[in-house]
Structure 1
Amino acid sequence: MWRTVPLYCTAAAVTVEECLHDIHRGRVAAALPRLNKLKAALCTVQGVDFARALCFLFDKKSNLLAARQSLLEELRLHPQHHEAQALLHQVNDTARPLLAPPAEVRKQYPLFSLLFDALLDSTMLTWPRLLHLYQAVDRLARLDMKDSRNGDPGHVVECGTAGGGSAVLMAVVLAEAENSCGILTSPLRRVFALDSFTGMPSPTAKDCLASIPVSASSSSQLKPPRSPDEATASWGTGTCRSPATHVQQLARHFAVEDRLVVIEGLFADSIPARLLSRSDVQRDGVALLHVDADWHASTRAALELIVPVMRRRTAGDRGMGGSPYPYRIVQVDDYHYWQGCREAVDEYVAKWGAGSPHIGDIDGNAVWFAVSRDGDDVTHNTTYQ
C-alpha cells in the first residue's frame, strides 16, 4: 500500500511529459483533457498547471488569462519551477496593463493602488471587485472611528480564498484604518479565510455558464469562454488550488498574520464547526461576507450558514439611543458567470419576501447586497459610501 502514492506520482509525471510532447506538436486538444483529469484527481505533480498554461496559450482560441492563472497555480504549488516563472513574466507583460485600474482610480485610492500591484499575482479578482471589497472594509473600520457607540464589531469572512490576495488586502485595510486613527479595536477584528485548499469540488448539473454571458467588453473577463466545455476546461474540479501555507505566508509578508485566520475544509463542514463555533464570532458576528465559490452548493452553503448570523444583533453591538444599526455587506463573485451561483443567490434572497435586498452590480460579473439587521430596511440601498 505504501507504494501507491509514489507509483501514482510517477505515472502522473509521465503523463505530463506526454502532454508536453503533444502540445509542442500542436495537439493541444489531446493534451488538455488528460491534464484536466490529473487536476480532478487532485494531482500536485510539478508541471501539470504549467502544461495547462501552454494549452491555453497555444490553442487557436488563446486564453491569456486562463494561462496566467494556471501559471500562478503552478507556482503556488511549486515556487521553484523556473520555466513557469519565466513564462509568467512574459504573460504578465501583456496581462498586467489589461488588468490594472485606470489612473483616476489609482489617484483617488493610493493605498488600494499599492495593494493591487503587490497582490495581483495572488488573486483572481478584477480591480473593480477588489476595490469594492476595499471600500466595504474601509467603511466598516471607520464606522468605529466616527462613532464608537454606533459602530459594528463584526468580523470579515471570505468563502473561497484560493491564493489569498483578497483576504490579505482586507486584513491590511483593517489594520491601516485603525493605525491611521491611532485606535486599535479591542478585541481584534479578524478576517477569516475559508477554503478547502485542495481545489474546486466537482460541479453539479446546475453549474453551467449563465444564460446571460459576460460581455466581451466587461472588465471581468479578457476573453469570455464560448461554451460550457471551454469554461470548465479552465475552472473544473481541482483547479484554483493553493496551499493554506501560501496564504499564511502572504499574511506574514504584509504583517497581518495576527488578523487573518485560515480555516480549511468544505464550507458545509468548516463554517459551523470551525467558524461559527468560535467565541469571538458568536460575540461580534460577521459584518462583511465575500463569497467566491463558483458552484451552487458552495455558494448556497455560505449564504445559508452565515447570512442569518449577519442579520442578528450580537452581544458586541454598540448601537444606542434608537440609532439604526449599521447594515452589513455581502459580495458574491461570478453571479453573472455561473448559473448555479446566480440561482443560489436568487433562491436565498427570495426567501426574505417583500424585504428582499436589492442586488447591485459591481463589474458585470460580481454583485453585492446589503443585509439589514433586526428589521432595518435597506431594500433599495445600492451604494454604501
Structure 2
Amino acid sequence: MMQSASLEQAPATLEVAGAQGGGASAEERYLELLKRTLMRIGFEAKYEPLTFQRVPSIRTKIYRVLARALGPRYEIVRRRRVRREDPTEGRKCSPDAESMIGLYRMNNLHEAIRTIVREKIPGDVIEAGVWRGGAAIFMRAALWAYGDESRTVWVADSFEGLPKPSENIAADAGYDLSGVSDLAVSVQEVQENFRKYGWLDERVRFLKGWFKDTLPTAPIGSIALLRADGDLYESTMDILNALYEKVSPGGYVVIDDYGAWPPCQKAVDEFRAKHGITEPMVTIDWTGRYWRKG
C-alpha cells in the first residue's frame, strides 16, 4: 500500500515585517494589496451568476438554459453566502476574481518567491494550470518587487479547461471536469488579465496545450519554483514527469490540489515514492502542500 508522505505544518501567516502597517516597504504593501485584489478579499461580490460553477452540476446546466432564454440583457444571480474563512482558505472565490487559491496558498507563493530571490536559487518560475492567471500574475509582480528581472514566468495551461480523463487511468475515473466551462479560460483572457495589472511583458511566456504535449519539449532550463495545479492524476503526473528533474536544489515544488483531489494526491505520492523523494511535504492549508528539493 502506498504510504502518505510525511507532512509538516506551514505557518498560517506570512511573516513580513510591517507588511500590514506603516513599517512595510512600498513594494511589500503593494504585494499585500495585489494578493487581496486578485482574490477580491475584502470586497467580494455580493451576488454571483447562477451559471458560475467549479464542479459539474445538473442545476447549473438548467440555469444556463434559462439564461440563454432570457437573452444577453439579463443574468440570473443569487446572493452569495461566504464564510469569513472561505476566501482565506480558497474554498470559495468571488466570481470575478483572477485567482481562487486563497490567502494561505498565495502567502506561500509570496514566501517562495522571496526565498528563491534571497537565496539565489537558480531557475525560472512556472505555474502549470493557471485558470485566470492570478497566481502567475502575482509571481511576476513579486519578482519585480524583490528586484529580480532575470527570471521568466512560464504560464502553462490548455486554456480549454480540464482534459477528459483517459479511460486507462483508473485513478481519474469519476473525476470528469472537462464539461466545466468556467474552468476553460482562453489564453487571450489570461493575457488580458496580465495586461490590466501591468505585467504582460517579455518576462512572461505562455505554453498553450495539454501538459503531455507542451511540457516535455518546453524550452525551460532550470526551475526555482514549480507550482502544479493539475487536479487529476494524469495531469499532475505529466507535470512532475516533465519538469521535476529541472527543479534546482533548494527549489520549491508546490502542489495545489493534494488535499482536495484524491487523484492528485495519488500521483504525487507515487511519484515521490518512485523517485525516492524524502523531503517532507509541508501543509499550506486544507489542500495545498509543498516541499523543497534536496
TM-score computed with the length of structure 1 as normaliser? 0.53
Q: Quick check: 1:297 aligned with 2:220? A: no
Q: Which of the pair is proportionally richer in strand?
A: 2
Partner of residue 258, structure 2: 335
Matches within 5 A, 1:23-38: none
Q: CA deviation at 1:124?
A: 2.0
TM-superposed CA distance for 1:236, in Å, is 4.3
Q: Which residue of 1 aligns with 2:114?
A: 138
* Counterpart for residue 157 of structure 1: 126
Residue among 279, 282, 291 paired with 1:357: 279
Residue 297 of structure 1 deviates from its aligned partner by: 0.7
- Write the distance in 2 (CA, Å) between the matches of 1:138 and 1:268: 30
Q: Are the counterparts in 1 of residues 282 and 291 from structure 2 also a CA contact under 8 Å?
A: yes
Residues 251 and 257, structure 1, Cα contact 8 Å, conserved in 2: yes
**Number of residue pairs the alignment of both structures matches:** 230
Q: What's the CA shift string for 1:22-75, capped at 9, x where partnerless?
A: xxxxxxxxxxxxxxxxxxxxxxxxxxx85465x99996xxxxxx99xx99xxxx
Greater relative CO, 1 or 2 (CA 8 Å, sep 6+): 2
Paired AA for residue 198 in structure 1:
E
Answer 1 or 2: which has greater helix percent: 1
Long gaps (5+) in structure 2 = 1-48, 65-71
Amino acid at match of 2:239: A
Quote the offset at 1:154 in angstroms: 0.9
The within-5 A match list for 1:87-126 is: 87=77, 90-91=79-80, 94-95=81-82, 97-101=84-88, 121-126=97-102
**Percent of counterpart pairs with the same letter?**
26
Counterpart pick for 2:158 among 196, 208, 214: 196
CA offset at residue 368 of structure 1?
Answer: 0.8
Which has the higher Rg, Structure 1 or Structure 2? 1
Asked if 2 retains the 8 angstrom alpha-carbon contact of 1:203 and 1:237, the reply is no
Structure 2 distance, partners of 1:329, 1:201, is 26
CA shift, 1:118, in A, is: 11
Q: Secondary structure of 2:146's partner?
A: helix
Q: Find the aligned partners of 2:223 and 2:73 in 1 and give their Cα distance.
A: 41
Q: Does 2:246 match 1:246?
A: no
Distance 1:58 1:343, change over 3 A: closer
Unaligned runs of 5+ in 1: 1-48, 60-65, 72-80, 103-116, 144-150, 179-183, 209-227, 312-325, 373-385
**Alpha carbons of 1:52 and 1:327: their partners in 2 closer, same or farther (altered >3 Å)?**
closer
Q: Which residue of 2 aligns with 1:260?
A: 204
> For 1:260 and 1:119, how far apart are their aligned partners in 2?
25
